[in-house]
Amino acid sequence: MSESAPPAAAQGMSAGTTPKLELRHLSMSYTDRQGRTVQAVDDVNLTLANKPGVGELAVFLGPSGCGKSTILKAVAGLMTPDFGEVLIDGQPVEGTGRDRGMVFQSYTSFAWRTVRRNVEYGLELQGLAAEERRARSTKLIEQVGLKDFADSLPKQLSGGMKQRVAIARTLANQPRVILMDEPFGALDPQTRWGMQSLILDVLRTQDNSVLFVTHDVAEAVYLADVIFVLSHRPAKVLHRIEVPFFESREPGLKQSAEFKRVEAHVLEMLHTLQVHGNVRVGL
């Protein structure tokens, strides 16, 4: 397990390699309901390497309200930075685009569309032929374990199944970067564990880079290739933790000594943040 200081512009990158995702001096604010300006993000710098055929899953951990979701919205193009920039494959992000997909905690399926038609929604907007839409949606519906529910409406599905639909719909557009804002936060523990395994099984076959927000440390360690620990608002990157390579990501991994060691290390960092505030303290 390695940890590096956050300000470096090209953490973990080889010379001449263009990162998949890069945030440069990102600063953002918004106006609250009382009309006050709130600084949400302050000079955030981070990179995700371009790993063809593999992808990378990065997790944001930090206090509630620290600005994690604001960063995701900036990458999605839903909010414009006050300063700094977001680059994907070296190109600045300007507004929303099909190269990015977002999965929210709330269920976002269209109630009047079947599972298949939900998954195909973005493909319809692109003007893809019906045959190609069906081929792509069939493959994804099978991958997320909903083969027997392709013609069902969302009201006939459980919460976990609705999130599977949202994931399949996002993947159907073949985005280069997927943004997931506490997607399993509303699920019961057993369903949540199953969804974590689904993410590992499906996303790693899609060559996606993923930014994933969670408050669950065990979930972060189980899913992540790299964890970014963020400060209290306004968000800064205090720590970048490279999670060790685990030979197996089966659920039983969570009981292993190595997993527990990494989990304890991350928990200690969060405890240090709580005690010392926005100060980068070596452990």
How confident is the model over 72-117, as pLDDT tens digits? 999 999 999 999 999 999 999 999 998 999 998 777 789 999 999 9
1 pLDDT higher than 70 = no
273 pLDDT higher than 50 = yes
Question: Is the C-alpha dihedral spanning 107, 110, 112, 113 positive or negative?
Answer: negative
Looking at the fold, whether 25 and 158 belong to one and the same domain comes out as: no
Nearest-Å Rg of the Cα atoms of the chain is: 19
Asked whether the beta carbons of 71 and 32 are under 8 A apart, the reply is no
Looking at the fold, whether 95 and 50 belong to one and the same domain comes out as: yes
Looking at the fold, whether 21 and 156 belong to one and the same domain comes out as: no
Q: Per the domain annotation, does 84 fall within a domain?
A: yes
Residue 127: per-residue pLDDT:
92
Distance CA 169, CA 161 (A): 12
Which CATH number goes with the domain that contains 201? 3.40.50.300
**Total Cβ atoms within 10 A of residue 190:** 9
Q: Per the domain annotation, does 160 fall within a domain?
A: yes
Distance CA 36, CA 38 (A): 6
Looking at the fold, whether 24 and 115 belong to one and the same domain comes out as: no
pLDDT digits (tens, 9 = 90+) for 119-172: 999 999 999 999 999 999 999 999 898 999 999 999 999 988 998 999 999 999
Order of all β-strands in the sheet with 37-48 = 37-48, 21-31, 83-88, 91-92
Looking at the fold, whether 81 and 180 belong to one and the same domain comes out as: yes
What pTM did the predictor assign? Answer: 0.86
pLDDT digits (tens, 9 = 90+) for 38-66: 899 999 999 998 877 777 899 999 888 88
Domain range for 242 is: 2-99+176-276
Q: Where a domain ends, among 148, 174, 200?
A: 174
Percent of the chain predicted with pLDDT > 90 = 53
What DSSP character marks residue 246?
P
Looking at the fold, whether 213 and 228 belong to one and the same domain comes out as: yes
Closest CA to 11 of 3, 27, 96: 3
Three-state DSSP state, 40: strand
Q: Per the domain annotation, does 194 fall within a domain?
A: yes
Looking at the fold, whether 140 and 197 belong to one and the same domain comes out as: no
Q: Where a domain ends, among 174, 203, 228?
A: 174
Q: Per the domain annotation, does 282 fall within a domain?
A: no
Residue 277: per-residue pLDDT:
63
Return the H-helix or E-strand segment holding 170: helix 159-172
Residue 6: per-residue pLDDT:
45
Q: Tell me the pLDDT of the chain averaged across its residues.
A: 86
Residue 4 bridge partners (DSSP):
240
Question: What pLDDT band is residue 10 in, cutting at 50, 70 and 90?
Answer: very low
Looking at the fold, whether 169 and 181 belong to one and the same domain comes out as: no
Number of domains forming the structure of the chain: 2
Distance CA 180, CA 68 (A): 11
Looking at the fold, whether 117 and 257 belong to one and the same domain comes out as: no
Mean pLDDT along residues 191-209: 82
Looking at the fold, whether 19 and 94 belong to one and the same domain comes out as: yes
